[in-house]
Amino acid sequence: MQKMIRKTALLLSFSLMLTGNPSDLMAKTPQNTIENVSPTQVRRQQQTQKKVKNGRKVIEQALASIRTDGAKAARLLNKIKNQNDFEAGLREILNEYYSMKKSERRELKAFTRAVDDSAAVIINHYEEAARERENSANLDFKANEVVVSFVYGTSEEEIERIVKETAAGYELIDSGELHIAKELPEYKKKRLEKISDLKTDIVILAQINLEDTVKRAQEKFKCYDCVVDASENTFLEADGTVETPNGQITMDDPFFNENDQWHMKNINIAGAYHNLQKAKSLREVWVAVIDCGVQIEHPDLSGKILTTFSVDVTQGNIRLSDCPDKRSSYGQYTGGHGTMVAGMIAAKANNGVFGAGVASIADDEASDREACKIMAIKCDNTVGSGRHITKSYLADAINFAVSHGAEVINISYSVKKKRFKHTEFRSLENAIKRAVSADVCVVVSAGNDGSQKLRYPAAFEGVIGVGATFSNNEIASYSNQSAAVDIVAPGGQRGKKIFSIRPVKNHRTRGYCFGMGTSYSAPQVAGTVALMKSVNYNLTSEQILSILKRSSTVTVRGENYSSRFPLLNTGKAVSMAQHRKKGKYPRVKKNYN
């Protein structure tokens, strides 16, 4: 028996020497034997692969002919019998055609005539989308983009999958949560900690396919359960003009007077100045100017710009100091509108250059005391002094300002679109809610349409909407007079416009300008709010709005005499903020009834 066992073991070891390890033997076995695939199935797979390869070859041949012979490209495409492969090839060819300039699509008509009739629907979609893009100058929204909001918690993989199925690409606008900048002072971090757990929608800016109109792309996204909203990327327009005057500056600080900077008298800046001289200390407040860009090296803004946090959100938050404006001889972003707004808030006082900003009257170089600095955030995707921004980049800019420590935000823009649904602004409203929850005061111009219709973003709850007055403290005829207006400030008129700074080249003397509109009423309020926060940092947004309204000593009637608006009184507002007694002020809400 033992001999038989030994013999069996010897034979087994000998067979293993010849064949190797059993697992190795399995690895060397042909795949079709392991999976038990029949020869017929193998042939079918090979035939399918051959058809795909041949189909790819036909599409490549067709693509090579689209510029020279559209009919030939169509005939080649018609050889593909499989409908899915045919449509995929058709889209490739049409994508190539519609990526060209209109003048280069000479063979497109010949292609569409010769291609199979089953292509008609897809061709029609491309034509509709092309017409929309070509008409972009007349639209109230960006032609090739859609703003999409996802339920918070939707994974990055899921978003990428949906975009791959629906659009050409995307850019993340809002991750749904606040990421506090590490470089902030502790007192700013402490203020932001209370909203660190606040979650909102995840928002992306989707670049749509050449085949889709904006409406069609919206409908595609709305088919997914995790998509909360898909809407147009609406334009907002600047609410003021910028005009360069004639003449030269001949003396130091010549414009800080009752003739040129007349608005300073109307808002009682002298009262604020006297109160601030008595203040023992001031907290440095950061004001985010969200606009078309600011000339950060303007001589009257020297030392007033937070260069680290002054960025272009349309280019991945690149610093303005590192991103020259190639179309400008000034060498950097020099938005006239944004520079004028920044100057009205923080242009240096007592420096022998141009005029002074509202918040700069508190500055004292001798004691190194400063009330305000500017965070310049460019959010239009045009170069230089563009006059339009989109709601997606505006929301992105607001989120950046909040997470990087701004206490005040100035937006001198309002929605250009005449008809819209309130839900279209979900992403923007969420950004503003986050800002208000962090006690960031969002000051917005009410618009220059002269109507009583609500204009956004001024109409959002928690925002301080600002209308305009003439030099005689009467309501400006061009100013919006809706319930969105919380307070009014000088906006100027013909012959008596608002003075501020403008981009200057090589420190030449003509770095000043005059303008008109609610665009320049808003920064007067923003500058006042900065002074109020500087003397009493713990004021909430609600308390600030309440003080602004209660401190007004002049009530401005609307043109229909049924509306009354408080006129900004900077002197009294700063005094009330400085000596505010403990206790809550009544909550001020916008009344749309």
For residue 479, the cross-strand partners are none
Show the tokens assigned to 279: 């203040």
Show the tokens assigned to 117: 């009739």
* Annotated catalytic residue within 260, 291, 300, 396: 291
- Closest to 90 in 3D by CA, of 130, 122, 54, 137: 122
- Between CA 527 and CA 511 the distance in angstroms is 21
* Annotated catalytic residue within 298, 337, 404, 449: 337
Instruction: Identify the residue whose tokens are 């909407």.
Output: 465
| Annotated catalytic residue 519 | yes
Show the tokens assigned to 544: 């600030």
- Closest to 578 in 3D by CA, of 283, 369, 276, 191: 276
Looking at residue 241, the DSSP 8-state letter turns out to be -
563: number of Cβ within 10 Å = 16
- Between CA 478 and CA 427 the distance in angstroms is 29
Asked if 483 and 590 touch (Cβ cutoff 8 Å), the reply is yes
| Annotated catalytic residue 562 | no
Asked if 93 and 111 touch (Cβ cutoff 8 Å), the reply is yes
- Closest to 479 in 3D by CA, of 492, 497, 467, 493: 467
Instruction: Identify the residue whose tokens are 């012959």.
Output: 495
* Annotated catalytic residue within 519, 541, 552, 575: 519
Distances (CA, A) of 536 to 31, 109, 294, 532, 573: 77, 69, 28, 6, 11
**Helix (H) or strand (E) run with residue 577 in it:** helix 570-578
Q: Are strands 227-238 and 311-312 parallel, antiparallel or unpaired?
A: unpaired
| Annotated catalytic residue 534 | no
Residues forming the active site? 291, 337, 519
